[in-house]
Chain A
Amino acid sequence: MKRLLSLLALTIATPASAETIAIVNGKVATIARAEPIENGTVLIRDGRIVSVGSNVAVPADARVVDAAGGWVTPGLFAGYSRVGIVEVDAVSGTNDIQATSAPYAAAIDIAPAVNPLTTAIAVTRIEGVTRAAVMPDAGNDIFGGQGLVMSLGDGTPITRQQAFQYIVMGEDGARLAGGSRGALFARLADAFAEAAAYARNPAGYGYGRDRGSLLKRADAAALAKVVSGEVPAVVAVNRASDIVNVLALKKTYPRLRLILAGAAEGWTVADKIAAAGVPVLASVAPNLPESFEVLAATQSNVGRLIRAGVKVAIVPIGRDLNHQVRLIPQQAGNLVAQGRIPGGVQVSHAEALAALTRNPAEIFGLGGELGTLEPGKRADVVVWSGDPIELASAPTALFIDGRATPLESRQTKLRDRYNPLKQDTLPKQYSR
C-alpha cells in the first residue's frame, strides 16, 4: 500500500536507510566546488548526506567504506533515457516506449510502464548511473506524454512523476503533424490554445473533441500544466532554425519552461539559447549529417554551448537510450578530449562531471535534492576505481538514497558463469 501511494504521489518521500555510512579516503568530487577534496570523507545517515570534507569525524557506529584513494562522486543522472520501460526493444510486449495507435498523446503518463526489475536497470546502475529522466516517445502526435525522473535503486523507482511533457519538433514533428513544419506550429498553437481554454475553466471544457477541438480533455489537462509553467516541456529539436522558432514560443507563452533535447546545431545559435536561459540535453558523439536537420553536428557542440553559458546535461546517444545509458561517462571523456585538438573547445574535467550530475538534477528541478555531494542531499554516491570518465574505471561501491547496492546484474551472473578461469564438470546451467 505504501508503495502504491508513493507511485501515485508527484514527489516521493525518500525511503530512508537507517544506516550510518562513512566513505573515507576518497578523492571526493562534490561538484558543488570545482576541485575534488583529497583524502575526503562522505558521511551518510538515514539516506541523506550529513557531511563532506577532509576533516569529518566518523561516528563509532558508522559502517566504514574505504575508497582506497578512488574518486567519490554523486550518482550520475541520465537526463534523457528510456531505461526501465523496455526489456528487449524488438519484443513489442516488453517495449512501452511509444504508443502509435493510442487515442491519447499528451495525457500519456509513462509511470505505469516502469518495471524496477527490468534487467537494464541493474546493468545501468552498476556503472554509476543512479537517476534517469525517462521519456515516452511520440507515437501518433507531436506530444509524447508525461515523463518522469526515476531512481535506479532497488527501492522506490519513481523520484518525480509527471515531471515534464515530451514534445517532438523538427522533421519528426512535422511528419507527426501531417507533413510540414507549418502544420507542426499550427498544431502546437492550437493545442496550447485549447490547453489555455481548459485551464481557464476546466469544468466548462467538456470532453474536448465534442466541441470540435483536436485535443481530448485528458490531453488538454496535461498540456495546461505546460502552458502554465507547472511542468517543463522537453522539446526534441535539432536544426538551428527550428531551435530559434522553439525559443520564440516563449514570447507567446511566457510561462513556458523549455528544455531542449538534441540541439545538434545548437552551437550555431548558442548565444540565443543562452540569452533565453534555456537548458539543453545533448549527446557528445554524434558528428555526422544523419539528416538535413543535423548538418552542423559536431563533437564540439556541447563544449561550445557550455562556453556560451548554456546549462547542458550530457545524455546518451539515440541508440543507447534503453540499454546503454551506462555509456554517458565515456561521452563526458570524449568531450574533454575534444578540447585537446586545434579547433576543439576546452571543457574542464569538473565541467564534464557537472554535466553528468548537477546540471541534469537542476534542469529537472531536483537541484536541491540531487546532483552534488552536500549536506542534506539524497545520498546517491558512487565510489570509483579511478577517474570516473576514464574508460578503464568502474564503480567499486554504490549507494542510492543511502542504501548500499550490490554491483550485480544479470550480465555479471552470465560473466561469472562463463568466466574462462572457472572450470565446471557439469553443464554451465548447474553453475550460478
Chain B
Amino acid sequence: MSRVRIFIDSQGLWGMRNLLNLVYRYHYFILFLVLQAICMLLIVNNRSVQSTAIFNSTNAVSANLFNAVASTKEYLSLKEENKKLAEEVAFLHNQLKSSYDILDMQAPQFMKNDSLFRKKYVFHNAQVINSSSNLNKNFLTLNIGSNQGVAKDYAIINSEGIVGVVKDVSPNFCTALSVLHTEQIINCKIKKDGVFGPLSWDGKDFRYAHLMEVPTYSKVMKGDTILTSSLSSIFPEGIMVGIVESVIRKPGEAFYTLTVKLHTDFKKLNYVTVIENKYKMEQDSLEKTLKNSEKKK
C-alpha cells in the first residue's frame, strides 16, 4: 500500500518538476508575456469610454509638475494672452445692456422678467497645464477638478473656438479629450444654412478637421463658417469651430466631406472656459430611455 503511494507521489513530483523546468527554461519569455498582458489590460481599460484611467496625468506628481511648467510658460505668453482677453472684454462689452440705448421705456421687448429665464450653461475659468497635438489621440490636462465643480462630459472652449471635452476628474485637476482625438466626434452645423453633420479629426494635421455626411443639397462653399449645432448636448449652440477650406464629394458617395480649418490654435492653448450644461443629465436620461425601449421592441 505504502509502496504504491510513494510511486504516485514521485510521479506527481516528476510532473511538477517538468513544469518547473519549463518555467525555468522559458522564464524570460514568460515574464515578457505577463508584462505585455498587463499593458494590454491597461490599454483596453483606457479605450472603453465608461472606465476611468488608472494611470493618468491627474495624479499629484505629474499634475503638479505640469502646473509648475505651465506657470513659467504663462510669463512668456502674457502679452498675447492680454491682447486676446482685451479683445474678448471689448466683444462682451458690446453685448451689455448698457451699451445699447433704450428707445422707448414702454416698449414690451425691454420688459424683462428674470424668473422667465433659467440658467442653462455655467462657465468655469481654467488653464491648460498639459496638452499635445502631434499624436493620434491628444489629451489636455486642466488645473480645475471636482472641487471646483467640474465633472465628466463638460465642454471646453476658449476665446477662439472649441477645444475639447472633459474625460477624467480628480479633486483639483481634470483630463480632457482634445478635438484632436481620432475618436472624438462633435456635432456641428454650417452657419449659412443650418445643415449639420459630425466633425471628426483624422490624426494628421492639427490645423484641419473634417465635417462628414453633409447632404449635397447644401450650398456650402469655401470660406463658410462652421459652428457647433444644437444637437450636441455637450457644447452650447453656435460656438465657433472653423472655416470651410474645401468641399469634396468622393466618387460613389451621396455626401460632401468638408475640410474645416479649425479656428482654435491647438499649439497655443492656455486659458480656457469649461462649460456645464445644466440640462444635460435630463436630456441624456430621456434619450436613453427612448433607446432602451426601442431595443426591447
A and B physically associate: no
Q: Measuring CB to CB, which residues of chain B are less than 8 angstroms from any residue of chain A? A: none
Residues of chain A touching chain B, judged by Cβ–Cβ distance below 8 Å, are none
